[in-house]
Each structure stands twice: as structure tokens, then as C-alpha cells.
Structure 1
Amino acid sequence: MGSIAKKGLNQYLMQLQQHPLRTKAITAGTIAGLSDIVSQKLTGIQKLQLKRILLKVIFGVAYRGPFGHYLYIILDKIFKGKRDTKTVAKKVLLEQVTFSPWNNLVFMVYLGLVVEGRPWVHVKAKIKKDYPTIQYTSWTFWPVIGWINHRYVPLQFRVILQSLVAFCWGIFLNLRARSIVLPKPK
């Protein structure tokens, strides 16, 4: 690893140890912003919408990072930090039947009301139409990530892995929320 990259990684790990909540929040915000940049490009937006990117960064910093930080701490306390197969299955199940539906709903509301500025009646209709499909898709995707996270990833890195995977999930949600279908490759 190059000297600059190694120093950057060491500095990041030090910040993660000294200021875990802040570091995870900033990381989640940065990744959310990058995810939105990719989403905008995939939907054909020529000029990046900076306000939209900033609002996604704020969502990551103010909600996603802190929520994940405390979620994983609470789950580890409930299950006493165990990583055996049965305990991990319980953690994943609990996460998927409670936190997953909540997070998808919060994201759809935030995207519709705050980011896109739609009236509540339109956001509500969009949620009614798309939420079941989004949640079903979530349940086919996130349990695998949850399993890996709870079984193999140390507590301090779980939000980071979740944020990196959420990069792709955020693109999916953005495309789904905008009801844009990508053209099929020829």
C-alpha cells in the first residue's frame, strides 16, 4: 500500500477509534453523496444537482450513520456480543423484521418530502405503490449482508460495511423512487 494511502487509512482508523459516532456519520454521509452522484448519472442527469447531493449527505450524516452506530451497539448488548450461528440468525431476523422496514420507509419519506420536495399526498401514494416491492427486494438482499456483518465484521466496522453496501442499495432506491427504468443493453 502506498505511503499516502497507508497514512490516510491509519488516520481514519484512529478517528474511528477516538470518535466512532462522528467518523461513522461522516463516512455514511460521504458514501450517500457518492451514491447519489452515481444515481444522477444513471438516470441521465447531465448537470449534477448539488442541492440533492447535499441533502443525501445530510441524511447519511444525521440519520444513517448514527442509526447504524447505535443499532449495532444495541444488538450486540442484547445478544451479548455473541457471533455463533444461532445468535447471528436471531440478530439478522430482528434487524430484518424491525429496522429494515423502518429504514426503507424513512428513506422514501425523506427522498419524497425533503429531497424531491413533493407534497405529502404524492409521497404517500408513491410509498403505497412502491414500498412493498422495495421491502421485498430488501429482504432478498440485506439478510446476506447482515449475516456477514454480524458474523465476521468487528463492531466498529459494521456501519462502514453497511454504508458501502448501501451505496448500491441507495442507487436502487433512487432509481425505484424515480420510477426510471434503465435501457436494456444491446
Structure 2
Amino acid sequence: MSSLKIERDVHKTVVDNVVGNGNGVGAMTKGLVGSTAAAVTEAATGNLPGTSGKHPISEVVGTAITGGRQNAGTKGYLAAYIKQLEDNPLRTKMLTAGTLAGAQELIASWLAKDRNKHGNYFTSRVPKMATYGALVSAPLGHFLIWALQKTFKNRTSLRSKILQILVSNLIIAPIQNSVYLVAMALIAGARTFHQVRATVRVGFWKVMRVSWITSPICLAFAQKFLPESTWVPFFNLVSFIIGTYINTVTKKKRLAALRKKHFGDSSGRPAGGSMAGGPRPEDYPPLGPNPPY
């Protein structure tokens, strides 16, 4: 207890010094510095609701991000996110889907050591995936999940829950996965109907198998333990983890195939051609489940 009191006193002393010496540049920024310092002091002395005072700076930042002092003492980030889902559902889902889709591609590239010709992990597919997540996946998922929840609203029997899982897997999942594969084909460079159709034909059942394994488990868990307002962040998290893993594995396989083609087969004989300056063939298709945003 004494060490905590000393730490708080030190924070208060530093804040008083920063705010008190308002000369030159300090005087110009006194308003901003003063308000920030006052918030840190409040957190350091344990007077900010919902905080412990042990990490005043991070607690002030967290409080600011989650809506300011009026939200202090609430459940924090998740509560603020759910509030945004309730107030602005489509916009929040679009921002979430775009961010996660872009982050998934970036993280998978980093894990697989898949760089572009400039040596960067931030490839052209990152903004394309983010655009797909925000403008295609989110609005589609928003409408489909809204229709599913509306259809089964106030129906809590075991029969209704099983029927809801069947509808999700036999109607909603095929629609989402088909749109997902079409979008991935276009992002990967497909320019003709034949190329897009070939991508969907090759990847559809592989993606559906992933969906049929994970979706019933996740939906049953959500039905049992989660309120409907938290279904979206829960599905987002599961899809992000699974999608990142599958995307990473797919990239590693493609890179291994490229190295074998460039450096030769197992006997060491070169296969001809060079990757230097040439186009990078993309995955056909990327075998990731369509996130149920």
C-alpha cells in the first residue's frame, strides 16, 4: 500500500510541475496538457471510476477510447463496441469487417514470410481485402444474420435452435462462401467468367467443409451462452483466427511451390524460368472460410 501511495504522489508531483510551469510553448499547450494531466492525476489517485490507479496513463487512454469519462466504470472496450453495434450496426460491422480482413491478410503474409517485389508484407491484397470486408462481406452478412435472427426471434426451443443451425449452414453459408470465392478470384487476378467459375468450382466444397465444421459449434455456443448483441464480435473473432491460419498455410504452400519451380526439383535440376521481376501467381482459390460478419 505504501509503494502504491508513493507512486501516486510521484504522478501527482510530475503533473503539477508540467501544468504549473506554463511558460513559452508550455503556455500554448496548457489547455491540452492540463486536461490530460488532470485525467492522469485522477486515475493515479484512484478517483477515475472503474480503474485501479496502478497504470494511470493506460487507464486514461483506455477510458478515452471507450467513450470518455461518462463511460468510465463500464465494461470497457466490449461494452463500447456493443453500444456502437446497437446505435450504428451496419457502419460498425463495415469498419470491423474491413479492419479484420485487411489485418488478416497482413498477418498471414508476415507469418508466411510472403513479401511483395519491394520486400514489404503490406501487399496490394491488403487494401483489396479490407475493401471486400467493408463493402461486400459486412453488408451481406448484416442482412443475412438479421434475416436469420428475425426468423427465429423468441423461438428458444431445442427444435428451433437446431433448425436455426441447419438454415445457417444450408442457406446462409453457401451464399456467403460463393460471394467470398468470387471476390477472392477477382482479387487474385481473375478477369474472365471462366476463371471466376473455375475458382468457385474448385474451392466451394473445401470452404463449405470448413464452414460446416466450425459454424454449428460457434452458433450453438452463441445460442447457449451469448446474448444476440455479442454474436457479431464473437463470430468475427473466430473467423479471424481460422481465416488467418488457413491463409498462412495457403501462402506457405504457394511459396514452397514457387521455390521448387525456380530452384529445381528434389534432384537439384533447375526447372527453368526466373521469378525475378516476374508476376507472382496468386492462390486459386484461397481456402479461407467466409467470415460471418
* TM-score, normalised with respect to structure 2: 0.55
Q: Following the alignment from structure 1 to structure 2, what is the Cα–Cα distance between the partners of residues 123 and 136?
A: 20
Question: Is 1:130 aligned with 2:187?
Answer: no
In structure 1, the partner of 2:161 is 88
Q: Following the alignment from structure 2 to structure 1, what is the Cα–Cα distance between the partners of residues 144 and 113?
A: 35
**C-alpha RMSD of matched pairs (Å):** 2.7
Structure 1 counterpart SS, 2:239: helix
Letter in 2 for 1:86: R
State the number of aligned residues.
182
**Do the aligned residues in 1 keep the contact of 2:107 with 2:244 (CA within 8 Å)?**
yes
Deviation at 1:118, TM superposition (A): 2.0
Taking structure 1 as reference, are residues 171 and 62 closer, same or farther at Cα in structure 2, changes over 3 Å only? same
Question: Is 1:57 aligned with 2:130?
Answer: yes
In structure 2, the partner of 1:15 is 84
Question: Is 1:99 aligned with 2:168?
Answer: no
**Do the aligned residues in 1 keep the contact of 2:97 with 2:134 (CA within 8 Å)?**
yes
Deviation at 1:95, TM superposition (A): 0.5
Deviation at 1:176, TM superposition (A): 7.2
Task: Return 5+ residue gaps in structure 1 as ranges.
Answer: none
Q: Which has the higher helix share?
A: 1
Please, which of 93, 99, 105 is the counterpart of residue 36 of structure 1? 105
* TM-score, normalised with respect to structure 1: 0.82
Q: Following the alignment from structure 2 to structure 1, what is the Cα–Cα distance between the partners of residues 254 and 223?
A: 33
Deviation at 1:31, TM superposition (A): 1.2
**Do the aligned residues in 2 keep the contact of 1:65 with 1:159 (CA within 8 Å)?**
no
Deviation at 1:139, TM superposition (A): 0.8
In structure 1, the partner of 2:189 is 117
Deviation at 1:111, TM superposition (A): 0.8
State the structure with bigger RCO (CA 8 A, min sep 6), 1 or 2.
1
Deviation at 1:99, TM superposition (A): 1.1
Q: Deviations over 1:11-32 (max 9, x none)?
A: 4343223212111221121111
Deviation at 1:70, TM superposition (A): 2.5
Task: Return 5+ residue gaps in structure 2 as ranges.
Answer: 1-50, 52-58, 67-76, 257-293
**Do the aligned residues in 2 keep the contact of 1:73 with 1:155 (CA within 8 Å)?**
no
In structure 1, the partner of 2:139 is 66
Deviation at 1:167, TM superposition (A): 0.8
* Runs of 4 or more consecutive aligned structure 1 residues displaced over 4 Å after TM superposition: 175-179
Structure 2 counterpart SS, 1:180: helix
Bigger mean CA deviation after superposition, 15-24 or 68-77: 68-77
Taking structure 1 as reference, are residues 175 and 35 closer, same or farther at Cα in structure 2, changes over 3 Å only? same
Q: Following the alignment from structure 2 to structure 1, what is the Cα–Cα distance between the partners of residues 141 and 225?
A: 17
In structure 2, the partner of 1:4 is 61
Please, which of 10, 16, 25 is the counterpart of residue 94 of structure 2? 25
Q: Following the alignment from structure 1 to structure 2, what is the Cα–Cα distance between the partners of residues 181 and 88?
A: 40
